[in-house]
Every structure is written in structure tokens, then in C-alpha cells.
Amino acid sequence: MYDFYSDTKTKPSKEMLEYALGRTFGDEQKDEDPTTLELCERVARLLGKESAVFLPSGTMCNEIAITVQTSPGDEILCDRTCHIINFEGGAPAAMSGVMIHPLDGKHGQFTEEDVSQALRPKSRHMPISRMLCAEQTVNLGGGGVWPVEKLDSVAQVAKKSGLSTHLDGARLLNACAKTGISAARYSHEYDSCWIDFTKGLGAPVGAVLAGSTDFIEAAWRVKQRIGGAMRQSGVIASFCLYALEKNVERLADDHALATKISSSLEHLPGIVNVLPVETNIIIADLAENAPSAAQLVSKLSEESIHIGAFGEKRIRIVTHLDVNPKAAECLIEALSNHLGSILS
Ligand SMILES: Cc1ncc(COP(=O)(O)O)c(C=O)c1O
């Protein structure tokens, strides 16, 4: 079985599981778990922030950051395609009572002008523009990497108007692997930022949210309130520490494989557009006369090859630790067979 649906599909390796056996654990809620504390310290340093908190998921990082930095009735600005709008169960409205002002960026990246135009003037009739969120890399933008100057500039425009800034770094380390720019540099203009361990880093659970000491204290209060505070969380934090040590450098291999798959895709019948591939995500559009994305996904799954349908004619393929060049060859062959037979 080859699963290209997402980089979240990796299984923990034996080495990762064994690594946990050598660690010590305590009660996380009482700040007594040395392994979790070590992970938080390392991520805070990596992101150039004062402090950090361990959470079960990236979604919880986004949503706690929004809760802490807004009040009900406020408005947050983010790209129309972002995870916060599309895949977090309406949590900004449900948990924080905020409105969202979607920005129409290109492949998930918006401009200073987009932000300026979305900012609300002071008026008792309007919501208050309170927070700007960006994603690095951009998931539905085909894993595209924001140039650091552009990421800085949109945050600076927002900050000038008193907004807080938040960076969804689910795949921030993929951007770092691609450009050699540090995670701290990318998140420099952002008040809160997080990285996920369950994407390219291959851990089964865990994300770490970082920011100022005051921000993390407030984040901890929300974590406690929603039942996210854990006990011997070092067991799972160990997997994240292992991932930081062993699985960061190899992200470049995922990028190389994605580039290879995308060059093959461009030559397949029925594929009309492949978004530029910069990291580990490939997004391609199917021709009018090709089957729908859902039909293609279903056909491939009969051969135990999994990809994603993200729109009527849009497919997504993601590379990660658990797929290799041989899996990629099988994927291309299966795509070629299905698209070729339907279109001939
Ligand atoms: C850009 C982005 N943000 C946030 C998330 C949420 O992360 P998690 O699955 O850890 O909740 C994802 C997950 O795919 C993502 O792609």
C-alpha cells in the first residue's frame, strides 16, 4: 500500500518508539515532565521565542493562538485556502467567536495591499481587525514557500495597525529545508508560531506552539480549560524529540521525490496543470474530459495507492518518510494507466 494522501500518514518507526524507552517522565500539568520541558525549550529556541507549550495537534495550536489573541466579535485575516478556514471545524467561530476576513492570495500567499485593503477603519459598525494568520508552507498552495521578505512585509503592515500575527508552521521546517533560512528568521515578525511533528517529521502525535512568556501563559490557561493538559506527556514528546534529531535533514529527500513525480505528471494524458513544486506537495488539475478527482482517487485506491481529491478536478499528492522512489514509480504507472485508458 502506498499512501500519498498526506505526510500525516507516516507510521512511527521502531527506532522512534524505542527512543521513548530511554527518557524520563513526570506530570506535565505540574511542569514535572522533563522530556516535554526539553522539547518545548528546544522548539522555543528553534523559533526564536521566549517560551513554548506542547499540544496534541496543529489545529489546537492555531485555535488556542486565536482564542488568546482575540475577543468575540473581532475579525481575523487569513488566506481563503488556509487550514484555519477550511479544516478546523469552524473553531474560530465556535471557540473564539471571531469573524474571518478571507484574503484572495495567489496559491495561498497574499500581499501587503491585500492586507491593507482588508483592514477595517475604526467604526462602531464594523468588527475590529485583530489578527493576521499566514501558513508556511502553504498546504493548498501546493506546498509553496513564502519568500521571507513577503512574509515579513504582510506581518509588518498588520502590526502597524495594531494586529497580532500568527504563523501556522505545520510545514515550516519544509520551507527551511528548501531555502536554508532558519525557522526563527521566518517567524521573526510573528507573535505566535508553531511546528507540527506529525507531518514530514513522522511522529504520531504532537505540535509545539511558541511565543512570548505572557502569550504561552495565556495559551496554557486555554489548554487547561479545554482538557488539553496532559500527564506523562513525555512518552509522546519523546517521539517529537526523536523526529527533531533524525527526521529534519531528510525532508530534502521528500522534496526531491515530489519534484520527480511532478515532472512525470506533466507528461501524463489528462493532466492540464501542475502547480510549481517547491517542497513535498504536488497539486495538479485534471482535464475537462478526464474523470473527476474523486473517481480517479477511487480507481487508484483499488490498487492500494492513495492520493487526495481537493476539488472537482484537483488532485493532491504528498511525499513523506513512508514513500520511496519505487512507490512513486507505481503511482505514476497507475495514474498513466487509468488516465490513458479513459482518455483513449
Ligand atoms: C497548513 C496546516 N495547518 C494546520 C494543520 C493541522 O494540523 P493537525 O493535523 O496537527 O491538527 C494542517 C494539517 O494538515 C495543515 O496542513
pLDDT digits (tens, 9 = 90+) for 266-283: 999 999 999 999 999 999
Say yes or no: CB of residue 200 within 6 Å of ligand 1: no
Neighbours of 32 (CB within 10 A): 14
Grid coordinates representing 278 are 517547491
* pLDDT above 70 as % of the chain: 99
Q: How far is the CA of 126 from the centre of ligand 1 (A)?
A: 30
Neighbours of 344 (CB within 10 A): 6
Atom 8 of ligand 1, residue of closest alpha carbon:
58
User: What is 250-343's CATH number?
Assistant: 3.90.1150.10
Phi/psi at 113 (nearest 5 deg)? -65, -40
pLDDT of 344 over the 70 cut: no
Beta bridge partners of 168: 135, 194
Say yes or no: CB of residue 58 within 6 Å of ligand 1: yes
Strands 164-169 and 192-196 turn out to be parallel
Cβ-in-10-Å burial (0-12, 13-18, 19+) of 249 comes to exposed
What does the mean pLDDT of the chain come to? 97
Q: Which atom of ligand 1 is nearest to the CA of 61?
A: 11
Say yes or no: CB of residue 198 within 6 Å of ligand 1: yes
Task: Say which residue the cell 523526529 belongs to.
Answer: 243
> Which of 59, 88, 198 for a ligand 1 pocket mutation test, highest count of atoms within 8 Å of Cβ?
59
Q: Which atom of ligand 1 is nearest to the CA of 62?
A: 4
> Which of 95, 137, 168 for a ligand 1 pocket mutation test, highest count of atoms within 8 Å of Cβ?
168
> Which of 199, 240, 281 for a ligand 1 pocket mutation test, highest count of atoms within 8 Å of Cβ?
199
Confidence of residue 238 (pLDDT cuts 50, 70, 90): very high
Q: How far is the CA of 83 from the centre of ligand 1 (A)?
A: 7
Q: How far is the CA of 190 from the centre of ligand 1 (A)?
A: 18
* Dihedral (CA of 172, 176, 181, 184) sign: positive
Q: How far is the CA of 323 from the centre of ligand 1 (A)?
A: 20
For residues 27 and 36, give the distance between their C-alpha atoms in angstroms, rounded to a whole number.
10
Say yes or no: CB of residue 139 within 6 Å of ligand 1: yes
Say yes or no: CB of residue 196 within 6 Å of ligand 1: yes
pLDDT given for residue 341 in this prediction: 74
In the chain, what are the domain boundaries?
13-246, 250-343
pLDDT of 342 over the 90 cut: no
Decide if 13-246 and 250-343 have a common fold. Answer: no
Q: How far is the CA of 7 from the centre of ligand 1 (A)?
A: 10
Confidence of residue 170 (pLDDT cuts 50, 70, 90): very high
Neighbours of 224 (CB within 10 A): 11
13-246: CATH architecture: 3-Layer(aba) Sandwich (3.40)
pLDDT digits (tens, 9 = 90+) for 132-144: 999 999 999 999 9
Say yes or no: CB of residue 33 within 6 Å of ligand 1: no
pTM over 0.95: yes
pLDDT digits (tens, 9 = 90+) for 6-61: 999 999 999 999 999 999 999 999 999 999 999 999 999 999 999 999 999 999 99
Q: How far is the CA of 313 from the centre of ligand 1 (A)?
A: 23
Cβ-in-10-Å burial (0-12, 13-18, 19+) of 95 comes to middle
